[in-house]
Amino acid sequence: MQLKRVVVTGLGALTPIGNTLDEYWEGLISGKSGAAPITYFDTEKFKTKFACELKDFNVLDFLDRKEARKLDRFTQYAIVASEEAIADANFDDSLDKYRVGVIWGAGIGGLETFQNEVLNFASGDGTPRFNPFFIPKMIADIAPGNISIRNGYMGPNYTTVSACASSANAIIDALNYIRLGHCDVIVTGGSEAAVTIAGVGGFNAMHALSTRNDDPQSASRPFDAERDGFVLGEGAGALILEEYEHAKARGAKIYAEVIGGGLSSDAYHMTAPHPEGIGVIKVMENCLRDAGIKPEDVDAINTHGTSTPLGDVAELKAISQVFGDHAKNININSTKSMTGHLLGAAGAIEAIASIMSIQKGIVPPTINHANVDSTIDPSLNLTLNKPQERDVKIAMSNTFGFGGHNACVVLKKYEE
Protein backbone atom coordinates (compact mmCIF):
# COMPACT_ATOMS: atom_id res chain seq x y z
CA MET A 1 0.00 0.00 0.00
CA GLN A 2 1.34 3.43 -0.95
CA LEU A 3 1.15 5.72 2.06
CA LYS A 4 -0.09 9.25 1.45
CA ARG A 5 2.08 12.26 2.20
CA VAL A 6 1.07 14.39 5.17
CA VAL A 7 1.81 18.10 5.47
CA VAL A 8 1.22 20.84 8.03
CA THR A 9 -1.03 23.64 6.76
CA GLY A 10 -1.96 25.53 9.92
CA LEU A 11 -0.47 26.32 13.31
CA GLY A 12 -1.72 27.87 16.54
CA ALA A 13 0.02 28.49 19.86
CA LEU A 14 -0.97 29.72 23.30
CA THR A 15 2.11 29.61 25.53
CA PRO A 16 3.74 31.24 28.55
CA ILE A 17 6.03 33.21 26.19
CA GLY A 18 3.46 34.24 23.59
CA ASN A 19 -0.29 34.00 23.03
CA THR A 20 -0.15 33.53 19.24
CA LEU A 21 2.10 31.62 16.85
CA ASP A 22 4.07 34.75 15.95
CA GLU A 23 4.46 35.82 19.59
CA TYR A 24 5.54 32.31 20.56
CA TRP A 25 8.21 32.19 17.87
CA GLU A 26 9.48 35.66 18.81
CA GLY A 27 9.69 34.52 22.43
CA LEU A 28 11.68 31.44 21.43
CA ILE A 29 14.30 33.15 19.30
CA SER A 30 14.71 35.99 21.80
CA GLY A 31 15.41 33.52 24.62
CA LYS A 32 12.46 34.66 26.73
CA SER A 33 11.72 32.93 30.02
CA GLY A 34 8.06 32.38 30.86
CA ALA A 35 8.66 31.65 34.55
CA ALA A 36 7.34 34.01 37.23
CA PRO A 37 5.66 33.88 40.65
CA ILE A 38 2.31 32.07 40.59
CA THR A 39 -0.70 34.42 40.51
CA TYR A 40 -3.53 31.85 40.49
CA PHE A 41 -3.42 30.97 44.20
CA ASP A 42 -1.59 31.73 47.44
CA THR A 43 1.71 29.81 47.41
CA GLU A 44 2.86 30.67 50.94
CA LYS A 45 2.78 27.04 52.11
CA PHE A 46 4.13 25.52 48.87
CA LYS A 47 7.72 24.47 48.23
CA THR A 48 7.52 25.87 44.69
CA LYS A 49 6.07 29.35 44.32
CA PHE A 50 6.47 29.95 40.59
CA ALA A 51 5.41 28.51 37.25
CA CYS A 52 5.11 29.39 33.57
CA GLU A 53 1.61 30.85 33.48
CA LEU A 54 0.01 32.48 30.45
CA LYS A 55 0.52 36.25 30.36
CA ASP A 56 -2.13 38.86 29.49
CA PHE A 57 -4.61 36.17 28.48
CA ASN A 58 -8.34 36.77 28.94
CA VAL A 59 -10.58 33.99 27.68
CA LEU A 60 -13.42 36.50 27.28
CA ASP A 61 -11.52 37.95 24.34
CA PHE A 62 -12.33 34.68 22.57
CA LEU A 63 -15.43 33.17 24.22
CA ASP A 64 -18.53 34.71 25.77
CA ARG A 65 -18.87 34.47 29.53
CA LYS A 66 -21.64 31.87 29.49
CA GLU A 67 -19.65 29.53 27.23
CA ALA A 68 -16.39 30.02 29.12
CA ARG A 69 -18.03 29.05 32.43
CA LYS A 70 -18.89 25.64 30.99
CA LEU A 71 -15.26 24.87 30.10
CA ASP A 72 -12.20 24.03 32.16
CA ARG A 73 -9.14 26.13 31.32
CA PHE A 74 -7.51 23.25 29.43
CA THR A 75 -10.47 23.20 27.02
CA GLN A 76 -10.51 26.99 26.73
CA TYR A 77 -6.85 26.86 25.74
CA ALA A 78 -7.52 24.08 23.23
CA ILE A 79 -10.26 26.12 21.54
CA VAL A 80 -8.14 29.28 21.31
CA ALA A 81 -5.08 27.52 19.84
CA SER A 82 -7.11 25.36 17.45
CA GLU A 83 -9.10 28.33 16.16
CA GLU A 84 -5.84 30.11 15.30
CA ALA A 85 -4.59 27.02 13.46
CA ILE A 86 -7.88 26.53 11.59
CA ALA A 87 -7.91 30.17 10.51
CA ASP A 88 -4.27 29.84 9.45
CA ALA A 89 -5.14 26.84 7.26
CA ASN A 90 -7.75 28.98 5.45
CA PHE A 91 -10.25 26.27 4.49
CA ASP A 92 -13.13 27.08 2.15
CA ASP A 93 -16.70 25.77 2.01
CA SER A 94 -15.72 22.76 -0.09
CA LEU A 95 -14.13 21.02 2.92
CA ASP A 96 -15.71 17.60 3.48
CA LYS A 97 -16.28 17.73 7.23
CA TYR A 98 -16.95 14.00 7.41
CA ARG A 99 -13.26 13.55 6.50
CA VAL A 100 -11.97 16.01 9.10
CA GLY A 101 -11.05 14.68 12.54
CA VAL A 102 -9.79 16.06 15.84
CA ILE A 103 -7.18 14.08 17.76
CA TRP A 104 -6.03 15.95 20.86
CA GLY A 105 -3.59 15.29 23.68
CA ALA A 106 -4.03 16.02 27.38
CA GLY A 107 -2.05 14.43 30.18
CA ILE A 108 -4.46 15.34 32.97
CA GLY A 109 -7.50 17.20 31.62
CA GLY A 110 -9.74 19.28 33.87
CA LEU A 111 -7.65 19.16 37.04
CA GLU A 112 -8.78 22.58 38.28
CA THR A 113 -12.44 21.66 37.83
CA PHE A 114 -11.99 18.40 39.75
CA GLN A 115 -10.03 20.15 42.50
CA ASN A 116 -12.56 22.95 42.98
CA GLU A 117 -15.62 20.71 42.97
CA VAL A 118 -14.13 18.41 45.61
CA LEU A 119 -13.02 21.38 47.75
CA ASN A 120 -16.50 22.86 47.53
CA PHE A 121 -18.05 19.56 48.59
CA ALA A 122 -15.60 19.13 51.48
CA SER A 123 -16.31 22.62 52.79
CA GLY A 124 -20.09 22.13 52.75
CA ASP A 125 -22.52 20.14 54.88
CA GLY A 126 -21.81 16.83 53.15
CA THR A 127 -24.73 17.07 50.75
CA PRO A 128 -23.46 16.21 47.25
CA ARG A 129 -24.19 19.49 45.46
CA PHE A 130 -22.01 19.33 42.35
CA ASN A 131 -22.06 21.62 39.37
CA PRO A 132 -23.96 19.95 36.49
CA PHE A 133 -20.98 20.74 34.26
CA PHE A 134 -18.52 19.04 36.65
CA ILE A 135 -18.10 15.87 34.58
CA PRO A 136 -18.20 17.39 31.07
CA LYS A 137 -15.73 20.09 32.18
CA MET A 138 -13.32 17.61 33.73
CA ILE A 139 -13.03 14.70 31.30
CA ALA A 140 -9.92 14.77 29.11
CA ASP A 141 -11.79 13.97 25.88
CA ILE A 142 -13.97 17.07 26.09
CA ALA A 143 -11.41 19.36 24.42
CA PRO A 144 -11.52 17.69 20.97
CA GLY A 145 -15.27 17.26 21.43
CA ASN A 146 -15.68 21.01 21.75
CA ILE A 147 -13.36 21.73 18.81
CA SER A 148 -15.48 19.43 16.64
CA ILE A 149 -18.77 20.90 17.87
CA ARG A 150 -17.64 24.45 17.10
CA ASN A 151 -16.53 23.54 13.57
CA GLY A 152 -18.82 20.67 12.60
CA TYR A 153 -15.97 18.20 12.07
CA MET A 154 -17.37 14.68 11.99
CA GLY A 155 -14.31 12.49 11.47
CA PRO A 156 -12.43 10.63 14.24
CA ASN A 157 -12.56 12.46 17.56
CA TYR A 158 -10.71 11.48 20.71
CA THR A 159 -7.99 12.33 23.22
CA THR A 160 -4.66 10.59 23.65
CA VAL A 161 -3.45 10.34 27.25
CA SER A 162 0.17 9.35 27.81
CA ALA A 163 1.25 11.95 30.38
CA CYS A 164 3.81 14.34 28.89
CA ALA A 165 3.88 12.42 25.59
CA SER A 166 0.15 12.91 25.02
CA SER A 167 0.16 15.51 22.24
CA ALA A 168 3.08 13.87 20.42
CA ASN A 169 1.00 10.68 20.48
CA ALA A 170 -1.91 12.69 19.07
CA ILE A 171 0.24 13.98 16.20
CA ILE A 172 1.42 10.46 15.37
CA ASP A 173 -2.14 9.12 15.40
CA ALA A 174 -3.22 11.98 13.14
CA LEU A 175 -0.33 11.24 10.79
CA ASN A 176 -1.36 7.61 10.50
CA TYR A 177 -5.08 8.29 9.96
CA ILE A 178 -4.25 10.57 7.05
CA ARG A 179 -1.49 8.58 5.39
CA LEU A 180 -3.67 5.46 5.48
CA GLY A 181 -6.38 7.40 3.64
CA HIS A 182 -9.00 7.56 6.40
CA CYS A 183 -9.07 11.37 6.63
CA ASP A 184 -8.16 14.42 4.56
CA VAL A 185 -7.52 16.74 7.51
CA ILE A 186 -7.00 16.36 11.25
CA VAL A 187 -6.80 19.09 13.86
CA THR A 188 -4.26 17.84 16.37
CA GLY A 189 -2.13 19.08 19.25
CA GLY A 190 -2.65 19.31 22.98
CA SER A 191 -3.49 21.49 25.95
CA GLU A 192 -2.94 21.51 29.69
CA ALA A 193 -3.89 23.70 32.65
CA ALA A 194 -2.24 22.12 35.67
CA VAL A 195 -0.96 25.26 37.41
CA THR A 196 -3.34 24.65 40.29
CA ILE A 197 -3.18 23.84 43.98
CA ALA A 198 -3.41 20.12 43.19
CA GLY A 199 -0.94 20.28 40.31
CA VAL A 200 1.81 22.17 42.09
CA GLY A 201 1.21 20.35 45.37
CA GLY A 202 1.24 16.96 43.71
CA PHE A 203 4.41 17.53 41.71
CA ASN A 204 6.09 19.05 44.78
CA ALA A 205 5.27 15.88 46.72
CA MET A 206 7.14 13.92 44.04
CA HIS A 207 10.15 16.28 44.28
CA ALA A 208 9.73 16.84 40.54
CA LEU A 209 9.57 20.65 40.46
CA SER A 210 12.39 23.15 40.74
CA THR A 211 12.38 25.11 44.00
CA ARG A 212 14.57 27.96 42.76
CA ASN A 213 12.16 30.50 44.24
CA ASP A 214 14.79 33.24 44.48
CA ASP A 215 15.30 33.26 40.71
CA PRO A 216 12.33 31.74 38.87
CA GLN A 217 13.31 32.98 35.42
CA SER A 218 16.46 30.86 35.40
CA ALA A 219 14.92 27.83 37.13
CA SER A 220 14.31 25.81 33.96
CA ARG A 221 17.90 25.02 33.00
CA PRO A 222 18.17 21.83 30.96
CA PHE A 223 21.64 20.26 30.82
CA ASP A 224 23.00 22.67 33.47
CA ALA A 225 24.88 21.06 36.35
CA GLU A 226 22.65 22.85 38.89
CA ARG A 227 19.27 21.86 37.42
CA ASP A 228 16.89 20.80 40.18
CA GLY A 229 13.60 19.90 38.51
CA PHE A 230 11.15 21.10 35.90
CA VAL A 231 9.05 24.26 35.88
CA LEU A 232 5.33 23.69 35.42
CA GLY A 233 3.78 25.41 32.41
CA GLU A 234 0.36 25.73 30.79
CA GLY A 235 -1.17 26.44 27.41
CA ALA A 236 -1.85 24.74 24.09
CA GLY A 237 -0.45 24.04 20.66
CA ALA A 238 -2.46 23.13 17.55
CA LEU A 239 -1.44 21.77 14.16
CA ILE A 240 -3.51 21.17 11.04
CA LEU A 241 -2.31 17.96 9.38
CA GLU A 242 -3.51 17.50 5.83
CA GLU A 243 -3.11 14.99 3.04
CA TYR A 244 -0.65 16.46 0.54
CA GLU A 245 -2.76 16.21 -2.63
CA HIS A 246 -5.74 17.66 -0.77
CA ALA A 247 -3.63 20.59 0.40
CA LYS A 248 -2.07 21.09 -3.03
CA ALA A 249 -5.46 21.05 -4.79
CA ARG A 250 -6.73 23.95 -2.69
CA GLY A 251 -3.48 25.93 -2.90
CA ALA A 252 -2.75 25.67 0.80
CA LYS A 253 0.28 27.18 2.47
CA ILE A 254 2.52 24.30 3.57
CA TYR A 255 4.80 24.71 6.59
CA ALA A 256 6.50 21.31 6.58
CA GLU A 257 5.95 17.62 5.96
CA VAL A 258 5.42 15.08 8.74
CA ILE A 259 7.41 12.06 7.61
CA GLY A 260 7.45 9.74 10.62
CA GLY A 261 6.56 8.94 14.17
CA GLY A 262 7.89 6.46 16.69
CA LEU A 263 6.65 5.05 20.00
CA SER A 264 8.22 2.93 22.72
CA SER A 265 8.03 2.15 26.42
CA ASP A 266 10.81 2.25 28.98
CA ALA A 267 9.14 -0.60 30.91
CA TYR A 268 11.30 0.50 33.81
CA HIS A 269 9.78 2.85 36.44
CA MET A 270 6.65 4.92 37.05
CA THR A 271 8.45 8.27 36.96
CA ALA A 272 12.20 7.81 36.39
CA PRO A 273 13.73 7.22 32.96
CA HIS A 274 15.95 4.24 32.32
CA PRO A 275 19.44 5.56 33.25
CA GLU A 276 20.93 4.37 29.94
CA GLY A 277 18.00 5.69 27.92
CA ILE A 278 17.09 2.29 26.46
CA GLY A 279 13.48 3.24 25.72
CA VAL A 280 14.58 6.57 24.28
CA ILE A 281 17.07 4.84 21.99
CA LYS A 282 14.33 2.57 20.71
CA VAL A 283 11.79 5.36 20.12
CA MET A 284 14.25 7.38 18.03
CA GLU A 285 15.28 4.28 16.06
CA ASN A 286 11.61 3.47 15.46
CA CYS A 287 10.96 7.02 14.30
CA LEU A 288 13.90 7.08 11.89
CA ARG A 289 12.79 3.74 10.45
CA ASP A 290 9.20 4.92 10.05
CA ALA A 291 10.39 8.10 8.31
CA GLY A 292 12.69 6.13 6.01
CA ILE A 293 15.73 8.27 6.81
CA LYS A 294 19.22 7.71 8.19
CA PRO A 295 20.57 9.19 11.44
CA GLU A 296 22.89 11.50 9.51
CA ASP A 297 19.90 13.11 7.79
CA VAL A 298 18.76 14.80 11.02
CA ASP A 299 19.80 18.43 11.49
CA ALA A 300 18.06 19.37 14.75
CA ILE A 301 16.53 17.69 17.79
CA ASN A 302 14.20 19.45 20.20
CA THR A 303 14.74 17.23 23.22
CA HIS A 304 12.31 16.38 25.98
CA GLY A 305 14.92 18.19 28.12
CA THR A 306 12.89 18.90 31.25
CA SER A 307 15.72 20.17 33.47
CA THR A 308 15.61 17.13 35.76
CA PRO A 309 18.84 15.57 37.04
CA LEU A 310 18.15 12.09 35.63
CA GLY A 311 16.13 12.74 32.50
CA ASP A 312 18.45 15.14 30.70
CA VAL A 313 21.49 12.87 30.97
CA ALA A 314 19.61 9.74 29.91
CA GLU A 315 18.24 11.46 26.81
CA LEU A 316 21.63 12.79 25.71
CA LYS A 317 23.18 9.35 26.21
CA ALA A 318 20.49 7.93 23.98
CA ILE A 319 21.12 10.56 21.30
CA SER A 320 24.84 9.76 21.30
CA GLN A 321 24.03 6.06 20.98
CA VAL A 322 21.59 6.47 18.08
CA PHE A 323 23.44 9.13 16.10
CA GLY A 324 27.05 8.17 16.82
CA ASP A 325 29.63 10.58 15.40
CA HIS A 326 26.87 12.58 13.69
CA ALA A 327 25.46 13.59 17.09
CA LYS A 328 28.00 16.41 17.36
CA ASN A 329 26.71 17.86 14.06
CA ILE A 330 23.12 18.14 15.28
CA ASN A 331 21.67 21.28 16.85
CA ILE A 332 20.24 19.89 20.09
CA ASN A 333 18.06 22.16 22.20
CA SER A 334 15.32 22.28 24.84
CA THR A 335 12.64 24.92 24.43
CA LYS A 336 11.33 23.94 27.89
CA SER A 337 14.08 26.21 29.19
CA MET A 338 11.76 29.03 28.08
CA THR A 339 8.21 27.67 28.17
CA GLY A 340 8.51 25.38 31.15
CA HIS A 341 6.92 21.94 30.91
CA LEU A 342 3.41 22.01 29.46
CA LEU A 343 2.86 18.32 30.24
CA GLY A 344 0.27 17.02 27.77
CA ALA A 345 0.73 20.07 25.52
CA ALA A 346 4.54 19.82 25.42
CA GLY A 347 4.77 17.62 22.33
CA ALA A 348 2.56 19.99 20.34
CA ILE A 349 4.29 23.27 21.13
CA GLU A 350 7.70 21.65 20.67
CA ALA A 351 6.74 20.17 17.30
CA ILE A 352 5.62 23.67 16.34
CA ALA A 353 9.01 25.04 17.42
CA SER A 354 10.70 22.44 15.20
CA ILE A 355 8.47 23.35 12.25
CA MET A 356 9.27 27.03 12.67
CA SER A 357 13.00 26.21 12.81
CA ILE A 358 12.61 24.50 9.44
CA GLN A 359 10.66 27.49 8.11
CA LYS A 360 12.91 30.23 9.45
CA GLY A 361 16.35 28.59 9.40
CA ILE A 362 16.96 29.32 13.08
CA VAL A 363 17.23 26.93 16.03
CA PRO A 364 15.97 28.46 19.32
CA PRO A 365 18.39 28.35 22.24
CA THR A 366 18.55 26.34 25.43
CA ILE A 367 18.62 29.25 27.86
CA ASN A 368 19.79 29.48 31.49
CA HIS A 369 22.88 27.33 31.00
CA ALA A 370 25.71 28.54 33.27
CA ASN A 371 27.37 25.43 34.76
CA VAL A 372 28.90 22.58 32.78
CA ASP A 373 27.71 19.10 33.73
CA SER A 374 30.74 16.82 33.58
CA THR A 375 28.50 13.80 32.87
CA ILE A 376 27.36 15.28 29.54
CA ASP A 377 29.40 14.77 26.37
CA PRO A 378 31.08 18.16 25.70
CA SER A 379 31.11 17.55 21.92
CA LEU A 380 27.31 17.87 21.72
CA ASN A 381 25.97 21.20 20.43
CA LEU A 382 23.25 22.03 22.94
CA THR A 383 22.52 25.42 21.32
CA LEU A 384 23.30 27.15 24.58
CA ASN A 385 21.93 30.59 25.45
CA LYS A 386 21.78 31.97 21.89
CA PRO A 387 19.78 30.94 18.81
CA GLN A 388 21.81 29.53 15.96
CA GLU A 389 21.17 29.95 12.25
CA ARG A 390 20.90 26.60 10.50
CA ASP A 391 19.38 25.30 7.29
CA VAL A 392 17.18 22.74 9.01
CA LYS A 393 15.94 20.22 6.46
CA ILE A 394 14.90 17.52 8.95
CA ALA A 395 14.02 18.04 12.61
CA MET A 396 13.15 15.56 15.35
CA SER A 397 11.01 16.30 18.40
CA ASN A 398 11.20 14.03 21.48
CA THR A 399 8.52 13.76 24.16
CA PHE A 400 8.46 11.35 27.11
CA GLY A 401 5.86 10.76 29.83
CA PHE A 402 5.56 9.34 33.34
CA GLY A 403 4.96 5.62 33.01
CA GLY A 404 7.75 5.29 30.46
CA HIS A 405 5.72 6.52 27.47
CA ASN A 406 8.05 7.70 24.68
CA ALA A 407 7.01 9.46 21.47
CA CYS A 408 9.12 10.91 18.68
CA VAL A 409 8.09 12.90 15.60
CA VAL A 410 10.17 13.71 12.51
CA LEU A 411 9.42 16.75 10.35
CA LYS A 412 10.91 17.68 6.99
CA LYS A 413 11.29 20.82 4.93
CA TYR A 414 8.52 20.83 2.34
CA GLU A 415 9.50 20.00 -1.24
CA GLU A 416 7.21 19.50 -4.25
DSSP character string of 105-143: E-SS-SHHHHHHHHHHHHTTTS-----TTHHHHH-TTHH
pLDDT at 267: 87
Q: Which residues of 108-139 are buried (b: 16+ CB within 10 A; e: fewer)?
A: bbbbbbbbbbeeeeeeeeeeeeeeebbebbbb
Q: Do 174 and 291 belong together in one domain?
A: no
Cβ proximity of 320 and 380 under 8 Å? yes
Q: Do 224 and 271 belong together in one domain?
A: no
pLDDT at 375: 95
Q: Do 116 and 190 belong together in one domain?
A: yes
User: How many domains does the chain contain in total?
Assistant: 2
Residue 256 lies in a domain: no
**Side chain identity at residue 411, one-letter code:** L
Q: Do 244 and 266 belong together in one domain?
A: no
Q: Is 36 strand, coil or helix?
A: strand
The residue out of 221, 249, 277 marking a domain boundary is 249
pLDDT at 12: 98
pLDDT at 194: 98
Q: Do 238 and 277 belong together in one domain?
A: no
**Side chain identity at residue 119, one-letter code:** L
CA atoms within 13 A on the CB side of 150: 19
**Side chain identity at residue 413, one-letter code:** K
Query: Which DSSP symbol is given to 52?
Result: B
**Residues 83, 139, 270: CA angle, nearest 5 degrees:** 110
pLDDT at 269: 87
Query: How many angstroms separate the Cα of 406 from the Cα of each of 168, 276, 279?
Result: 9, 14, 7
The Cα 177–Cα 183 span in angstroms is 6
Residue 254 lies in a domain: no
Stretch (H or E) spanning 352:
helix 346-360
Residue 255 lies in a domain: no
Query: How many angstroms separate the Cα of 144 from the Cα of each of 66, 109, 153, 265?
Result: 19, 11, 10, 26
What stretches in the chain show pLDDT beneath 70?
A: none
Q: Do 209 and 297 belong together in one domain?
A: no
The residue out of 191, 220, 249 marking a domain boundary is 249
386-412 residue pLDDT tens = 999 999 999 999 999 999 999 999 999
pLDDT at 338: 98
The set of catalytic residues is 164, 304, 341
The Cα 153–Cα 82 span in angstroms is 13
Residue 109 backbone class (left: φ over 0; alpha: ψ -120 to 50; beta: rest):
left
Q: Do 223 and 336 belong together in one domain?
A: no
pLDDT at 93: 93
Residue 369 backbone class (left: φ over 0; alpha: ψ -120 to 50; beta: rest):
beta
The residue out of 220, 249, 278 marking a domain boundary is 249
**Side chain identity at residue 376, one-letter code:** I
User: pTM of the predicted model, to two decimals?
Assistant: 0.97
pLDDT at 87: 98
Cβ proximity of 397 and 168 under 8 Å? yes
Domain assignment of residue 288, given as a range: 262-412
φ, ψ dihedrals at 7, nearest 5°: -125, 165
Q: Do 186 and 305 belong together in one domain?
A: no
pLDDT at 125: 84
Q: Do 163 and 298 belong together in one domain?
A: no
Q: Do 218 and 123 belong together in one domain?
A: yes
Residue 1 lies in a domain: no
φ, ψ dihedrals at 78, nearest 5°: -60, -45
Residue 327 lies in a domain: yes
- Residue 66 maps to which CATH number? 3.40.47.10
CB within 8 Å of 221: residues ≥ 6 apart: 227, 307, 337, 367, 368, 369, 370
Q: Do 270 and 180 belong together in one domain?
A: no
Q: Do 245 and 266 belong together in one domain?
A: no
